[in-house]
């Protein structure tokens, strides 16, 4: 497959956002976001700010009135922080399960002493 689309410069990407109706705010800050995070990655976060598509198209590629790059980057930062928290929680569960695994296995496979069974029946 041969690609015919040429890459856009950061300035062209910025102008495209403006042309489609996004308020990008400070141009230097907007360019930094496009350089560091990238147009394609940010595009997933500005989907909620696009107008609904017409005529069966997948996307309108036109922004609702009031759409700002600042709101898009806030959503990106929130998602990044949430991802870090979720991965940290998953790691804690994994460590706990791995460390408790042998103990649980021992409790399930070793017969209970009679006095534990008798005490649990008495209450």
Closest CA to 46 of 25, 27, 26, 20: 20
- What is the pTM for the complete model shown? 0.73
Q: What's 9's DSSP letter?
A: P
Q: Which residues contact 70 (CB under 8 A, 6 or more apart)?
A: 25
Beta bridge partners of 23: 68
Looking at residue 115, what is its pLDDT?
53
- Angle at which helix 39-46 crosses helix 27-36, to 10 degrees, equals 110
Looking at residue 37, what is its pLDDT?
97
Rounded CA-CA distance 15/112 in Å is: 73
Main-chain dihedrals φ then ψ at residue 68, nearest 5 degrees? -125, 150
Rounded CA-CA distance 82/111 in Å is: 44
Q: Per-residue confidence of the chain (123 residues) as pLDDT tens digits?
A: 888 888 999 999 999 999 999 999 999 999 999 999 999 999 999 999 999 988 888 889 999 999 999 999 999 999 999 999 999 999 998 888 777 766 766 666 766 665 555 555 555
Looking at residue 118, what is its pLDDT?
57
């Amino acid at each position: 497959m041969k690609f015919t689309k040429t890459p856009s410069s950061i300035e062209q990407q910025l102008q495209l956002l403006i042309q489609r109706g996004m308020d990008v705010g400070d141009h230097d800050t907007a360019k930094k976001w496009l350089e560091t995070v990238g147009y394609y990655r940010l595009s997933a976060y500005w989907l909620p700010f696009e107008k609904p598509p017409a005529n069966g198209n997948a996307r309108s590629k036109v922004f609702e009135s009031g759409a700002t790059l600042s709101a898009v980057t806030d959503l990106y930062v929130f998602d990044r922080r949430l991802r870090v928290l979720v991965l940290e929680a998953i790691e804690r569960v994994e460590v706990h399960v791995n460390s408790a695994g042998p103990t649980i296995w021992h409790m399930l496979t070793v017969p209970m002493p009679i006095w534990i069974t008798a005490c649990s029946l008495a209450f």
